[in-house]
Amino acid sequence: MRDGEAEVRIHPLEVAEDNDSTAVSAQGQTRKDRLREIMRQDPMRLWQAGSMAEALGEPAKTESVRVTMDELMRAGELVKHPGSNYQHATGVRSTP
């Protein structure tokens, strides 16, 4: 720090990128954890990224939430249906 400059302290959570779905919230949960929790409450429900972003309290981060949902889809935890509707994998009915 140079003379005359104020020291700026940044909280570690503020450093995380918007699309960092592993950044821990003030409640100690990651975005992925909170998203899983919401989707497990009603596994039959179809979610779009915008409505999930609102449910997470992050309406301005729809794109980041979509990226997180895609990561969970690739991990097999969510299923992506036409129209970019996501569903918790336990809610998908298997056809006989």
Which long-range contacts link 55-60 to residues 24+ away (Cβ below 8 Å)?
56/31, 58/31
pLDDT band at 17 (very low <50, low <70, confident <90, very high): very low
At 23-57, the pLDDT tens digits run 566 668 899 999 999 999 999 999 999 999 999 99
The region, left, alpha or beta by phi > 0 then psi within -120 to 50, assigned to residue 82 is beta
**Per-residue confidence (pLDDT) for residue 59, from 0 to 100:** 95
**Per-residue confidence (pLDDT) for residue 92, from 0 to 100:** 82
- Its pTM stands at 0.70
pLDDT band at 18 (very low <50, low <70, confident <90, very high): very low
